[in-house]
Amino acid sequence: MAAIWATALILVAAGVNVAADTNDLGVNWGTLTSHPIHPKIVVQLLKDNGFKKVKLFDSDPWMVGFLAGTGIEVMLGIPNDQLEFLSEAYGNAKDWIKENCTAHLRKGGVNIKYVAVGNEPFLTSYKGRFTKTAFPAMKNIQKALNEAGVGGKIKAVMPHNADVYESKSDKPSDGVFRSDIKDLMNQIARYLKNNNAPFVVNIYPFLSLYLNSKFPSDFAFFDGGHPIQDKNVQYNNVFEANFDTLIYALRTAGAPNLTIIVGEIGWPTDGHKEANKANAKKFYDGLFRVLASDKGTPLRPGKMDVYLFGLFDEDTKSIEPGNFERHWGIFDFDGKPKFAMDMSGEGAHKELVAAKGVKYLPKQWCVLVSYATDQWLIGEQISWACSQSDCTALQDGASCFGLDSKRRASYAFNSYYQMNNQEDNACDFKGLGNVVKEDPSTDSCKFNTQIKVDGASRLSFANGAISVLVSLVTLFILL
């Protein structure tokens, strides 16, 4: 995920193909969490809040099945670790479509519109790992869809990070696909054009701020300020500049009118000084105004097809890109809305509808015992607890960074305790932990109590959550 380029651009293009309406918003439903909300509850949440589209990162049949009969348009996901398997033999793709896609296509079934093959497979940080397998996998999936008789209705797509294109001048009119994958991306763009499928791109203005301390903060939002001039076009925000940089790259690739879907866009609410609820609300309010206006961008006026990222905070996501990665949700981990959102873009700041039927563990917390004095042992236990739970809110600039040393230890202990379902031995910490009934939260720092997860839900999502936890061996020095 990343939108790195800020810039500008020119003229309007004929044959505009940008779809969707502010009342037709999509949202990303990720499941990299230790305690996933039951899919039945999530689907009701989508319906209650008027989401007409949902983008998934896998295709768990049990989870997808709850979308049957809702009419919600679905983008299934294929993880990057399956690309090689799907690229090496057409039969593998054919079986995948039969088991994960067409099995849901019946009267009253799931309204599948796209199959997302991979997720940002050409990120620079992957160092070319998927460049030989992603495109062949996508072609095999589309061929399987065609042979199943649904290729006209369901399209194979590939969500891309905005770092697949670049501009030497930081202006949209110099937009081209990244030099190391230019030929490959040109081929993909033409393939999508010939197959009447959209180009899916993830754009994150937040990352422009995160990656560049000198980046003008108001350019990341939609309120104007620090405009960029590109020939006879003025850009007032990085989103429009980034989007139009892609259009120039597509022109160079021979697909100037290719439909574009913004597969991910959002703002995190914790884990960094710029990641907070106030900034997130400001960003979304501006985004929704732009979407409601149907003005599009200078090169692509009209309605835009947009999926918000994301639905919930995910406490087992990799934090390699940054501590904010676990805080992209417009809802908290338990399905409670973080702030009022004007999805109509008309100034009606309404509260989102919270998830219904979520059950919690008892209202109790694990904290540092009051008589603890061994600072070395306390630090050791904090690091151990954080390496196996989520302490991103304790990091510099985050919501709990200002806690005193004892409360910081308590936060770390409680994070581990809740992630482990409040088990008795999860609040030991070599005698330093103690379970209390009084909420230790402060005005700025929330000490959570975790939700209950039934066996079926735990089993369904276990593989994803556990694999992430095993891979995250990150020790925090918090005292």
Catalytic residues: 120, 264
Give CA–CA dist 25/31, Å, rounded. 20
Best CA proximity match to 427, nearest among 169, 88, 418: 418
Tell me if 244 sits within 8 A of 22, measured CB to CB.
Answer: no
180-to-87, 123, 245, 248 alpha-carbon distances in Å: 21, 11, 17, 18
For the residues of 440-454, what is the DSSP string, one character each? ---SS-----PBP--
Q: Are strands 365-368 and 433-436 parallel, antiparallel or unpaired?
A: antiparallel
Cα atoms in the 13 Å half-sphere on the side-chain side of 241: 32
Residue 274: CB atoms within 10 Å: 17
Tell me if 159 sits within 8 A of 204, measured CB to CB.
Answer: no
Tell me if 421 sits within 8 A of 361, measured CB to CB.
Answer: yes
3-state secondary structure of 137: helix
Tell me if 20 sits within 8 A of 345, measured CB to CB.
Answer: no
Residue 47 neighbours by CB under 8 Å, 6+ apart? 70, 72
Residue 144 neighbours by CB under 8 Å, 6+ apart? 90, 93, 94, 96, 97, 98
Inter-axis angle of helices 182-194 and 134-147, nearest 10: 10
Q: Which helix (H) or strand (E) holds 466?
A: helix 455-471
Tell me if 155 sits within 8 A of 258, measured CB to CB.
Answer: no
**Structure tokens given for 363:** 């209202």
For the residues of 221-264, what is the DSSP string, one character each? SSS--S-EEETTEEE-SHHHHHHHHHHHHHHHHT-TT--EEEEE
